[in-house]
Structure 1
């Protein structure tokens, strides 16, 4: 009975570690994508501001 229990505990621990690693990688990837999207949005906004300023200044 004890070896079965220890195997179950080891299996549960291995699953928890694997799940934690997958979650960690997924969260990092989502964070990176979010930051890249924000950076692209900022570039787009600054481009729009520059164009509007150029139009006002007659360029």
Structure 2
């Protein structure tokens, strides 16, 4: 898939009738999130498909 990662993941989930998304993010500082964005954060806030987020060490 090509494009913005969060949009492409969300569109893929919608087109394949996914019941939910399970995503894992890495720990980043608030500044890192602001400068580079966060696919995980974008999916959690904007996806119409329910999102389950897990932590990784």
TM-score normalised over the length of structure 1: 0.24
Instruction: Return the structure number with greater relative CO, CA threshold 8 A, min gap 6.
Output: 2
Structure with more of its chain in helix, by fraction: 1
Q: Which has the higher strand share?
A: 2
Q: Which protein is bigger by CA-based radius of gyration?
A: 1
